[in-house]
Amino acid sequence: MKQTSFFGRLRRSQIFWPLVAWVLILVFDAIVEPGFFKLGIIEDPVYGKHLYGNLVDIFNNGAPLMLVAIGMTLVIATGGVDLSVGAVIAISAAMGAVLINPALGNQLITNEILTRNATNTPLPLIILATLAAGTVCGLWNGFLVSRAGIQPMVATLILMVAGRGIAQLITNGQIMTIYYTPYFWFGNGYILGLPVSIFIVAGVLLLAWVLVRKTAIGLFIESVGINAKSTYYSGINERNVKLLAYTFCGFCGAIAGLILSSYVHSADGNNNGLNYELDAILAVVMGGTLMTGGRFSLFASVIGAVVIWTFTVTVYSLGVPANALLAAKAVLVLLVILLYSDYTRRLMNRVFERGGSQHEAAH
């Protein structure tokens, strides 16, 4: 009997388990900390009336991760990985900060100049440059993987490390504080009471969704990840598919860098986006996309990112420092990979031998 009910389709789709995980964490929060869900409306002198509360913070602060998860999903779907996302965030943030700051070069800098609410470059140009910087990084990775034939892990590892050096180079080794208030809007502003970053994420998600599901690109990406040879024999230029995936990932990293540096009012080459690649991989893996490539779901990865961020906020409010999470997340990634792997599937088949064949017929 074919189950086409809503719940049935939900149950089988990729977003089911991340949603369940999120609900579980929220339930835990509700029990342990009843005030967790408190939402209120607050009147802010600069940004006007807006929603306020833990949930809002989760989505606002988690926006960069959600963006990176979107880009990372496409890369992993082609059977690769992008370890440089954190560095791309740093580079993009640095690019934005350096274009704003009027105190470039060796001129004598007064404190007044440094903290002036002004920019050297018009804002639209800054945004353009920031996005371009990240996209070029993605292009670079894409070229190394698709044209030079270097393994994705090695190719992106190079930018992961060298990229931090580049970010430092751009900011001349300093942590640059930003004083130009219009720039803050991306990470701190509100539209219709909700954070701007949510709209940005929604926009990018929509763009990505249109790109992969309303064109043939999504199909090609999945095909390349499953069987690159058959895909090539069917007349698809699989090298360009990979190139696109990495470039888009760089683009997403750039936007993430923009939002992040806007939120913290600064650019720090060493710490911006630190360990983001771990979170991004975890989000994608939790969203049910296999590390070996193939079928993917952007929504599931975004929900995965929300789960991670909710978890982080929960743990924070319990008084545990962020770095303590690193170890737990690492174990979690491996566990989730194992859960979805062939090994487990065969194990489950053996354990549920009787139920297995019936389940197949139910398709």
Partner 1 sequence: MNEPINVVKMLGITKSFPGVMALDDVDFTLRKGEIHALVGENGAGKTTLIKVLTGVEQPDTGTIQLDDKLVQVRSPEHSQELGISTVYQEVNLCTNISVAENIMLGREPRRFGSINWSKMNDLARNAINRLSIDVDVNQPLGNYSVAIQQMVAITRALEILSAKVLILDEPTSSLDIHETNLLFDVMRKLQNEGIGIIFITHFLDQVYEIADRITVLRNGKLVGTYETGSLPRVELVAKMLGRSLTELDAMTRVRSRQEDTGEKQQLVEAKGLGLARSLEPVDLELYASEVLGVAGLLGSGRTEMAGLIFGIDAPDSGSLVVDGEEVTKFSPLESLKRGIALCPEDRKAEGIVGDLTVRENIILALQARYGWLKFLSMQRQNELADKYIQLLGIVTPSPEQRVSNLSGGNQQKVILARWLATNPKVLILDEPTRGVDVGAKTEIQRLVMQLSEEGKSCVFISSELEEVLRVSDRVAVLRDRKKVAEYSGDVDDKTLIQAMAGEA
Partner 2 sequence: MKQRTRTFIFRNGSLMLTFAVFVLTYFVGSQLYPVMRKPQVFFNLFINDSSLLLVSIGMTMVILSGGGGIDLSVGGMIALTGTASAALLRGGASPYLVIPLMIVMGLAFGTLMGTIIQTLKVQPFIVTLMGYYFARGMAYIISLTSVTITNEVYKTFALTPIHIPFIPNAYIYPTTLVGPIMLVVAIYLSFFTRFGRTIYAMGNNEQSAILMGLPVARTKIMVYAFSGLCSALGGIVFSMSLLAGYGQHASGMELDSIAAVVIGGTSLSGGVGNVIGTLFGVLIHGTIVSILQFNGTLSSWWTRIGVGVLTLIAIGVQSIFYLRAKRS
- Considering the rule CB under 8 A, would residue 332 count as an interface residue with partner 1? no
SS3 319: coil
Closest distance between partner 1 and the C-beta of residue 317, in Å?
41
Q: Which is nearer to partner 1, 83 or 241 (CB)?
A: 241
Q: Helical H runs in 101-195?
A: 111-114, 123-146, 152-170, 181-188
Would you give the DSSP letter of residue 202? H
Q: Which is nearer to partner 2, 139 or 291 (CB)?
A: 291
Q: In the set 128, 343, 345, 352, which binds partner 2 (CB under 8 A)?
A: 343
- Considering the rule CB under 8 A, would residue 89 count as an interface residue with partner 2? no
Closest distance between partner 2 and the C-beta of residue 278, in Å?
5
Closest distance between partner 1 and the C-beta of residue 213, in Å?
8
- Considering the rule CB under 8 A, would residue 337 count as an interface residue with partner 2? yes
How far apart CA 7 and CA 148 sit, in angstroms, is 46
Q: Are 262 and 63 in contact (CB under 8 A)?
A: no
Q: In the set 103, 132, 136, 158, which binds partner 2 (CB under 8 A)?
A: 158
Q: Are 203 and 195 in contact (CB under 8 A)?
A: no
**Of partner 2, partner 1, none, which one does residue 205 interact with (CB within 5 to 8 Å by kind)?**
none
- Considering the rule CB under 8 A, would residue 50 count as an interface residue with partner 2? no
Closest distance between partner 1 and the C-beta of residue 5, in Å?
16
**Of partner 1, partner 2, none, which one does residue 356 interact with (CB within 5 to 8 Å by kind)?**
none
Helix axes 54-61, 196-213, angle to 10 degrees: 50
Q: How many of the other CB atoms lie within 10 Å of CB of 110?
A: 10
How far apart CA 350 and CA 229 sit, in angstroms, is 32
- Considering the rule CB under 8 A, would residue 173 count as an interface residue with partner 2? yes
Phi, psi of 95 (to 5 degrees): -60, -45
**Of partner 2, partner 1, none, which one does residue 295 interact with (CB within 5 to 8 Å by kind)?**
partner 1
Q: Which of residues 257-316 bind partner 1 (CB under 8 A)?
A: 294-295
- Considering the rule CB under 8 A, would residue 217 count as an interface residue with partner 1? yes
Tell which residue, 42, 93, 112, 77, has the closest CA to residue 269: 93
End-to-end, the C-alpha distance of the chain in Å comes to 8
Q: In the set 136, 139, 205, 236, which binds partner 1 (CB under 8 A)?
A: 236
Q: Which two tokens stand for residue 161?
A: 């490390």
What stretch of H or E contains 179?
A: none
Would you give the DSSP letter of residue 108? -
Q: How many of the other CB atoms lie within 10 Å of CB of 309?
A: 23
**Of partner 2, partner 1, none, which one does residue 161 interact with (CB within 5 to 8 Å by kind)?**
partner 2
Q: Which two tokens stand for residue 98?
A: 């350096």
- The binding site for partner 1 (CB under 8 A) comprises 214-217, 219-220, 222-223, 226-227, 229-237, 294-295, 363
- The binding site for partner 2 (CB under 8 A) comprises 81, 83, 144, 148-151, 153-154, 157-162, 164-166, 168-169, 173, 269, 275, 278, 281, 291-292, 321, 323-331, 333-334, 337-338, 341-343
